Structure 1
C-alpha cells in the first residue's frame, strides 16, 4: 500500500505545486474534514468567514469526508496537504504503512468523543452497570474499537456483557426502544440522536471513555510531511487561523452553527449549536487545554495511550511517537490559548 501512496504523492505533486503558485495571490489550501458539515466543523468555517485564513494569506477550501479512514489517505497521498482525523486511526495507519508521509501537528480533541451511552431507566449509569446487560455496538465503530481497553480500565467481566452487533442507523433507535441497554458511539452524536428520538435527557447517561480510565487522544490536524517540510510557514499560519476559529465558536457557538448551515442548508441551527457546544465542553476545552492551550500533547499520557491502544490492536511495529505527532509547526503567537 505504501508504494501506491508514494506513486499517488508523486502524481499529486503537480496539484500541490499549482496550489502554491502565484506570489501575489493567496496560497490555495484544500483541507479534508473527516466527516460531513456539522456543528464541530464550525471552527474551520469561522476561520474562513471571520477572515483568519485570509489574514494569513491563505485561500482554504474545506471538503467534507466519510470518516478518518477517508481523510488520512487523502493527506498521505498528497491529494490534500492538510486534514482532520482521529489520531488513533492515524497511529494504526502508520503502523500498517511505515514511512507514509503524514503526521499530526495540532491536537484538537484533547479528549476523544468515544463513549458508552446507556439509560438510567435500564440500569446503566456507570461502567460496572454494563455487566449483565446488552450492549449494542456497530462493528466498525471507533468507540467499539476502544471498548476492550475501556473494559480493562474499569475491571469489567466481558463474559457478563452480551454484545449485540448493530448498524449505525439502528444503534440509537434500538436503545430508545429498549432493545439494548447501552450502545457505543460518539458522545455528542449519540446523545442528540436519542433526544431527537424522544428519550428524556436525564435518562441518558453518557460515559465518556476519557473520563473512565482511557488516556487516548482524539482528532487532530494532520499534514502531508513533504508539504510541511517545504511550506513550514504556511502550515504554522494555517494552524494559527484554525485556533482563532475555535476561539470564535467557543465564544459564540450559535454563530458557528449558522456558518455550518450556510454550507449545509439542510442542517438545523439549534441542533448544530448544541452539537458544537457538547463537542467544545467534552472534547476541546479541558483542564489541560485551559492551562496549556490547544494543539499540544502530554508525552507521558501519549505513551500510556499507545499502551492502551495496544490492548485493542496488535502493532506490527514499535510505535514511533515522533512519526505520529510533532509540535514543530505550532504557532507561537498566542493564538493557541483559549480565551
Structure 2
C-alpha cells in the first residue's frame, strides 16, 4: 500500500508540474509575485479575491501578495518600475499613461468588458435621460477618469457642454452633496455611487443611473497589467495568473454569495447586503456582456479598443497617440474555448 501511495504521489506531482509550465517545473517552490489594487477592495474586486482565497493562484504555482495603491496612476507606476509584477487598473488610465510615457506596460486581461462610468442623478431634479443634464450642475470628482470621456459622450449625444455647469468636488463628498441636493448629478461608477446613495437613504426610484456605455461610450474598464520585463522572463507565470483569474471570475459568477464572503475578509468594514448588491451590478453591467458571451473573458475587440482610445483622446489631448497594440497584449490568453463562461 505504501508503494502505491508513493507512486501515486509522484504521478500527481508530475501532472501538476506539467500543467504549470516551464517556470513552475524549474522550481519546487511557488513563485512570489505582487499584485497592486488601484483602490480599496470591495465586491468589484471579487474575481481576484476569489482567485487568492480559493487557492486558484497557488494551483498555478504562484504565491500572490497584494497591496493597495492610491489610484490607477500609482498602481501603473509600481508595475512600470517593477515594484509590483501585476496590478489591476482602469485601462483608460493606462491609455493616458502610454500617451505620456515610454514604458511598454500593457494589459493582459480585461476584467470589466464595459467601463463602469456613469452619471448618477436625481430624477427629482428633472434628470431622467442624458440630454436632461443641460442646464444642470454636474459634480466631477478630482481625478475622475470619466471626465476625460465626458466631452466625447456629450458630442455624440448632442449635448452642449457650455450649458452644463461642472463643479469640481472631492470624491469624499460626491454622494453626500448629491443626497443633500447641493448637486443635480455626479460622475462616478454605476456600482459605486448609486449603491452608496441608496445606502444613504436616497430612494432607488429617485436615482437615474446614466451609464456611459448605454450612450455610445466604447471604453473598457478595469484590466490586469504586467511588468514587461517580468512578462518576458516569466511568460508561463503570466499565463498561469490569467488562467487563475478566469477561474476566479467563473466562480464569482456562479456563486456571488461565496465571492462576497471572501471579499468581506479583506475589508475592514463591509455590509454583506450592500456588497452583494454591488457585485450583482458589476457582473450584470460590466463583466457578463454580450461581447464576453460571444468571445470569452479577458480579451478585447481591437477595433472597439481603437475607438475607445480615440474617445479618451478627445478629453485628455494625447502627447502621442497610443494604438490598441500599445495597450493590450493577447499572447497570454488561453484559447477562446477556455475563456467562455461556464
2 CA distance for matches of 1:198 and 1:66? 29
Please tell me whether residue 40 in structure 1 is matched to residue 29 in structure 2.
Answer: no
Contact 1:21-1:27 at 8 Å conserved across structures: no
| Aligned-pair CA distance for 1:211 | 1.2
Structure 1 residues 338 and 20: CA distance shift in structure 2, 3 A: closer
**Mapping 1:85-234, distance limit 5 Å:** 85-98=89-102, 100-234=103-237
Contact 1:82-1:223 at 8 Å conserved across structures: yes
> 1:85 aligns to what SS in structure 2?
strand
Query: Structure 1: which 5+ residue stretches go unaligned?
Result: 1-18
2 CA distance for matches of 1:217 and 1:130? 24
Across the aligned residues of Structure 1 and Structure 2, the Cα RMSD in angstroms comes to 1.7
2 CA distance for matches of 1:168 and 1:293? 34
2 CA distance for matches of 1:211 and 1:71? 28
Query: Structure 2: which 5+ residue stretches go unaligned?
Result: 1-22
Find 2:265's aligned residue among 259, 262, 265.
262
> 1:52 aligns to what SS in structure 2?
coil
2 CA distance for matches of 1:315 and 1:142? 14
TM-score, normalisation: structure 2: 0.90
> Which residue pairs with 1:8 in the alignment?
none
> Which residue pairs with 1:79 in the alignment?
83
> Which residue pairs with 2:27 in the alignment?
23
> Which residue pairs with 2:6 in the alignment?
none
> 1:185 aligns to what SS in structure 2?
strand
> Which residue pairs with 1:295 in the alignment?
298
| Aligned-pair CA distance for 1:238 | 0.6
2 CA distance for matches of 1:247 and 1:305? 26
Contact 1:74-1:80 at 8 Å conserved across structures: yes
Contact 2:48-2:245 at 8 Å conserved across structures: yes
Contact 2:306-2:323 at 8 Å conserved across structures: no
1 CA distance for matches of 2:315 and 2:224? 24
Contact 1:133-1:162 at 8 Å conserved across structures: yes
| Aligned-pair CA distance for 1:20 | 9.0
> Which residue pairs with 2:18 in the alignment?
none
Q: Which has the larger radius of gyration?
A: 2
> 1:141 aligns to what SS in structure 2?
coil
